[in-house]
Amino acid sequence: MKRHTHIFFVIALLFMQLNNTSASAQSCAGQPVAVQILGSGGPTLNRLRASSSYLLWIDNRARVLIDLGGGAYLRFAEAGAKLSDLSLLAVTHLDPDHIAGLPALLWLSNRSRTEPLPTVGPSGNDIVPGYSTFLYRLFDGKNGAFQIMGSALGDAQTYSQQSVRLDVSVVDAAKAEPSTVYNRAGMTVTALGVPHGEVPTLAYRVQTHGVSIVIGSDQTGTNPAFVRFARGANVLIMHLTIDAGTKHPVHAAPDVVGQIAQEAQVGRLIVSHIGPIDRHAAISELKRFYSGPLTIGADLQCTQVR
């Protein structure tokens, strides 16, 4: 009887471990270049996945933060990242699941960082403001939603000194060729507009230490220039948001994601921004078109870029 009880507990423990679904932190320490997913989800509520966010670690420091959806603020801290280490905050587009965490990250950030934080985002159109207008509406010391963070945009009034200063640049998302947005200290970052319905959206490519990583962001996958942009990347992150065999006006289906990764001949494909889909069907559809190494993204997962 005692033996049966023991076996029961062992089985129960194994079951709990197999179903352990809380986000577990993987360390990026000790790797020259690594990418950590802070948010592997999209706009849909998901108890395991924060909304979209990626962190590039170089020589044990968190150097590039790409997007900051809801929940990524917590993941940034869980990853052990420091605001003072960031060289660039790159924003792909201004949908809330990619940017809603920004005020949370910047609030009181002047206490942990004195240097201005370089940041880049897309141009606007009739339905989405450009990145600088968006920041003005949030942080302007007179008219912003968070007036007390006016120092983010250089406001000098005493009450508004609650954020580190941002050094803002904007990329024309309609431009056909990639734009260089950062080129310093052995790291080059380029941006290219990708089709995401009406919302101006940028993909980013980071090159450093002889390796490269491309963040595809939300896109339909219908800009052939993106395949050239991603070609030969050691790691490509693409979004797996809709079911196999379906069509969507702003997201690529799994077959398109697979085709892009295969055509671009990347070293590894990571799928992220995972929607409420039949994941097994989506992955097997993707694998019909892509035969290289594949990682299914999870929050705080770390992948060496090599």
Whether 262 and 292 have beta carbons less than 8 Å apart is answered as yes
Tell the smallest beta-carbon distance from residue 250 to Zn ion (Å).
9
Whether 132 and 168 have beta carbons less than 8 Å apart is answered as yes
Four-point Cα dihedral 152, 154, 158, 160, nearest 10: -30
Q: Which is nearer to Zn ion, 199 or 266 (CB)?
A: 199
Give the whole-angstrom CA distance, residue 295 versus residue 306: 14
Q: What is the largest CA-CA distance in the chain?
A: 75
**Strand residues in 98-200 grouped as ranges (E):** 117-122, 166-171, 179-184, 187-194
Q: Which is nearer to Zn ion, 129 or 154 (CB)?
A: 129
Taken as a whole, the chain contains a residue count of: 306
Q: Which is nearer to Zn ion, 137 or 248 (CB)?
A: 248
Tell the smallest beta-carbon distance from residue 95 to Zn ion (Å).
5
Residue 70's SS3 state is: coil
Tell the smallest beta-carbon distance from residue 86 to Zn ion (Å).
22
Residues 6 or more apart in contact with residue 147 via CB below 8 angstroms: 139, 140, 141, 159, 160
Q: Which is nearer to Zn ion, 97 or 155 (CB)?
A: 97
Q: Which is nearer to Zn ion, 140 or 218 (CB)?
A: 218
Q: Which is nearer to Zn ion, 42 or 258 (CB)?
A: 42
Whether 159 and 149 have beta carbons less than 8 Å apart is answered as no
**Strand residues in 156-257 grouped as ranges (E):** 166-171, 179-184, 187-194, 201-208, 211-215, 235-239
Residue 116's SS3 state is: coil
Tell the smallest beta-carbon distance from residue 273 to Zn ion (Å).
6
Structure tokens of 181?
Answer: 């947005």
Q: Which is nearer to Zn ion, 231 or 279 (CB)?
A: 279
Tell the smallest beta-carbon distance from residue 97 to Zn ion (Å).
4
- Per CB under 5 A, residues contacting Zn ion are 42, 97, 218
Whether 123 and 131 have beta carbons less than 8 Å apart is answered as yes
Tell the smallest beta-carbon distance from residue 282 to Zn ion (Å).
16
Tell the smallest beta-carbon distance from residue 39 to Zn ion (Å).
10
Tell the smallest beta-carbon distance from residue 121 to Zn ion (Å).
14
Q: Which is nearer to Zn ion, 209 or 248 (CB)?
A: 248
Instruction: Return the number of other C-beta atoms located less than 10 Å from residue 281's C-beta.
Output: 13
